[in-house]
Structure formats: C-alpha cells, structure tokens
C-alpha cells in the first residue's frame, strides 16, 4: 500500500489528514492501540540539543553611509563577529558571521548561543565596530534593527550521538558535559532525543533530504543537504531558516566544561507514503543503541546502552525544595547552571531550564530533585552503575516544536 505527497497535501488542505507527533505514535504502541498505515498520514518529529555547527549571518546598519570605509573587527555584546564576506565599503552597514560557539572576550561564559537568544527576545545588543583605519564606532540595536538574519546549521540533528564517562582518576574539560567531568565513573552525560529524533524515524533517508521543509527554532526552513561530518553510520543535516522568524524559546546558550555552546530545536514532518516508512516511525527508545565513550576521546567506545535507559520513566524538569536551600551552596550551583535558569533565591526559571539535571547532581542535599536516572553497563567483564548527571538534549523542547509543527500542518500553514 502507498500514497503520494500530492495525496497527503490534498488531505491536509481538505482538513482530512491524520497527523501525529512521533511521541503520539510511540505512546500508541506502548498502549497497544494498533494503529495501521491507513490511520496515519503525517508524523512530526523533533529534537533539541547542543548543535555546535550553528552560525548566523547578519546585516546591521552601524553609521550613516560614508563614515567609515569597512569594518575590520566587530563585536556583539562582546562576542566576536566576522565581517564579510561582502565588505560593504562606505555603506555604514556590516555583513557579519557569528558562530554559536564563539566566546565573549570579556565574559567567557557568554557566547554566541546566549547572544542569539538575547536578540530573539528583543534585548538591546551592544555593537562595537573597529574600522580598517582604527577608528571605533558603537551602537545599540534590537532585533528590529537587523535588516537580515539567517541561521545556518552546518551539522545538526544527528541520528545517533555518543554518551560519555570518565574512567580515569582525573578531571576533563569538555563540551560534552555542563561541568568538568570527574573520574572515575562519577558522571554520565549524553545527547539525543532518541525515539523523537527526525532521522531516527526515517533511517532509510527516503524523506529527509535536500529541499525537505522543516521548522528550525520555530521558523520555517529547509534541509540544504547532508551536514559536515555526515556519514552512513552517523548521518546529520545542514539546515537553514530566517532567524527573524524564530522564537527565543527554542534556541540559546549552554555552558559546558569547555565554555559556552549553543542549542537548537528542530522539527521535521514525515509523510507516511508506504508501509516501510510507517514501520520506521514505530521505533522505540529501547531499540535505539547509545554508544558510551571515554571523555578523553569520542573515538574511544567503551560500552553501549540504549535511549530507553536514559529517557524512559525519568523526570524532565527538576523541582526546588526551599526548605533545603543554602545560599552559599546555591551560589556555586547558580554559576554552574548551563542555561542560567537558577535565581539568587534558588528558584528555577522554567522558561530557561533545559532539564539537564546538573543542579540535582551539584546540590547533593535535595535542594533540587529530579529522577534523572542512572545507567548500567559492562566494560571488560566489570559491571558499573553510573548516575546520569547532565543531559545535553531537552525532550520538552523537542516535544513542543513537534507539536507546533503538527498544528501548523493541521491549520494548512505548512505544506509538505
């Protein structure tokens, strides 16, 4: 049995399409509801996590035309930007490329990801320009002043990620953990949204390819093709969308043991054109392998678990126990929080919270509570149980953007 894209789009335009999120499909399987190919026309998938290959291209007016020849250096809130490739000579405006992983020159815990969120949230942004003749110009702008802003992801939405542990008696600074990773076997950190992840639901790659329409941080975008470092074993995507149409709730900065990173949220629709595609979207966390590697090198696999072990049955957000609050202890936790979600009085800003779990690990005394789980695995005939201490993907945002895409399709605002 099969159907065509045109047939699916016609059902959508007539309001007759059966649209499910990936999570709804998995829940129907767990509830033994026995959905069939005929029952499902579209499945919306989603993922959210650290995506280091994120960059933004901006065009900003700084001065009146003719004031300076061209920019040599530019900083946005202290984050270095790279002028060009167009020099914009004597126009008073600048073309810029800003990396989501670029660190601020004064505040090394503030980087491109935090800058992108501030821009989208309408915050005032300090622009500093050094011209080729050495003169400096400053201006404060908001998102309304950005004449163009395009986000580009050079490698995003990996089908499969790697989890990390430190088996040695040392401390490793790495982007793969929200804090320096202590040994031995003290912390377990991982990425990936498992059964909700787009490519994981279309492993044959028959649907997700160049030209596929997507949502990137809430804005309509498209797949440009395979991402850098994409392979048959670990495929990923190159994506783009208009940043001015994005929402700050889906993108932001994430502090790690090696400095700030950037996270993004992606939703991709899968039209269920045949039985093979329908079979692919039924994959569950318990069936998806997760390689465990040595934090000293991602090329050093030690063992393996599944996404069922890290996601199923666990809490998604911490709760705050005011009776356990200690101001001195909380100061360190507040500084360490990857998304700056913890306030001076210990409360959690759930709009900023990523559900990573670090506050639970660092508080030790029950100030923050969340069943984040632990992982059992074997290495060389030895058995280990290591607590999950940092999740670098956010299942809540992945779910939210998949639901948003489902709504847009159902309302006829997003055509496959």
Tens-digit pLDDT string for the chain (416 aa) = 899 999 999 999 999 999 999 999 999 999 999 899 999 999 999 999 999 999 999 999 999 999 999 999 999 999 999 999 998 999 999 999 999 999 999 999 999 999 999 999 999 999 999 999 999 999 999 999 999 999 999 999 999 899 999 999 999 999 999 999 998 999 999 999 999 999 999 999 999 999 999 999 999 999 999 999 999 999 999 999 999 999 999 999 999 999 999 999 999 999 999 999 999 999 999 999 999 999 998 778 999 999 999 999 999 999 999 998 888 888 899 999 999 999 999 999 999 999 999 999 999 888 999 999 999 999 999 999 999 999 999 999 999 999 999 999 999 999 99
Evaluate whether residue 74 is within a structural domain. yes
Which residues have a Cβ under 8 Å from the Cβ of 293 and sit 6 or more positions away?
Answer: 162, 163, 164, 165, 299, 300, 301, 302
pLDDT value for 274: 97
pLDDT value for 300: 81
Evaluate whether residue 388 is within a structural domain. no
pLDDT value for 388: 97
Evaluate whether residue 115 is within a structural domain. yes
pLDDT value for 326: 85
Strand residue runs (E) in 227-288: 237-242, 252-256, 259-271
pLDDT value for 365: 84
pLDDT value for 364: 81
Residues spanned by the domain of 136: 54-152
Evaluate whether residue 385 is within a structural domain. no
Evaluate whether residue 132 is within a structural domain. yes
Q: How far apart are CA 193 and CA 391, in angstroms?
A: 10
pLDDT value for 246: 98
Evaluate whether residue 136 is within a structural domain. yes
Strands 188-190, 382-391: pairing kind: parallel
Evaluate whether residue 289 is within a structural domain. no
Q: Write the DSSP string, 67-119.
A: S-S-EEEEEETTEEEEE-SS--TTSSEEEEEEETTPBPSS-TT-BHHHHHHHH
Evaluate whether residue 98 is within a structural domain. yes
pLDDT value for 297: 84
pTM for this structure?
A: 0.96
| Count of domains for the chain | 1
């Amino acid at each position: 049995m099969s159907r065509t894209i045109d047939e699916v789009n016609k059902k959508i335009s007539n309001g007759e399409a059966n649209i499910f999120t990936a999570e709804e499909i998995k829940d129907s399987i767990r509830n033994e509801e026995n959905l069939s190919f005929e029952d499902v026309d579209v499945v919306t998938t989603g993922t959210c996590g650290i995506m280091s290959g994120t960059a933004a291209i901006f065009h900003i007016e700084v001065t009146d035309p003719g004031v300076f020849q061209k920019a040599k250096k530019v900083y946005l809130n202290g984050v270095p930007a790279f002028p060009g490739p167009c020099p914009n000579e004597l126009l008073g405006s600048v073309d810029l490329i800003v990396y989501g992983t670029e660190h601020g020159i004064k505040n090394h815990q503030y980087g491109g990801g935090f800058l992108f969120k501030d821009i989208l949230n309408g915050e005032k942004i300090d622009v500093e320009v050094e011209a080729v003749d050495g003169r400096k110009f400053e201006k404060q702008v908001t998102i309304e002043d950005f004449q163009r802003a395009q986000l580009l992801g050079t490698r995003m939405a990996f089908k499969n990620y790697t989890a990390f542990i430190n088996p040695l008696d040392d401390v490793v600074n790495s982007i793969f953990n929200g804090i320096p990773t202590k040994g031995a076997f003290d912390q377990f950190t991982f990425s990936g949204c498992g059964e909700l992840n787009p490519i994981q639901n279309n492993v044959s790659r028959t649907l997700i390819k160049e030209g596929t329409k997507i949502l990137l941080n809430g804005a309509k975008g498209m797949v440009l093709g395979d991402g850098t470092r994409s392979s048959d074993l670990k495929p990923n995507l190159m994506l783009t969308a208009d940043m001015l149409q994005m929402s700050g709730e889906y993108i932001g900065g994430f502090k790690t043991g090696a400095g700030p990173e950037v996270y993004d949220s992606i939703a991709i629709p899968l039209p269920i054109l045949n039985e093979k595609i329908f079979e692919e979207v039924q994959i569950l966390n318990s069936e998806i392998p997760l390689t465990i590697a040595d934090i000293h090198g991602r090329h050093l696999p030690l063992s393996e678990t599944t996404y069922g072990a890290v996601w199923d049955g666990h809490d998604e957000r911490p709760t705050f126990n005011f009776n356990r609050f200690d101001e001195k202890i909380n100061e360190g936790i507040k500084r360490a929080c990857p998304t700056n979600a913890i306030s001076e009085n210990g409360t959690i800003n759930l709009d900023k919270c990523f559900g990573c779990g670090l506050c639970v690990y660092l508080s030790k005394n029950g100030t923050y509570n969340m069943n984040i789980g632990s992982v059992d695995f074997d290495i060389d005939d030895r058995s280990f149980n290591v607590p999950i201490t940092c999740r670098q993907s956010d299942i809540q945002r992945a779910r939210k953007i998949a639901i948003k895409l489902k709504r847009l399709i159902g309302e006829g605002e997003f055509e496959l």
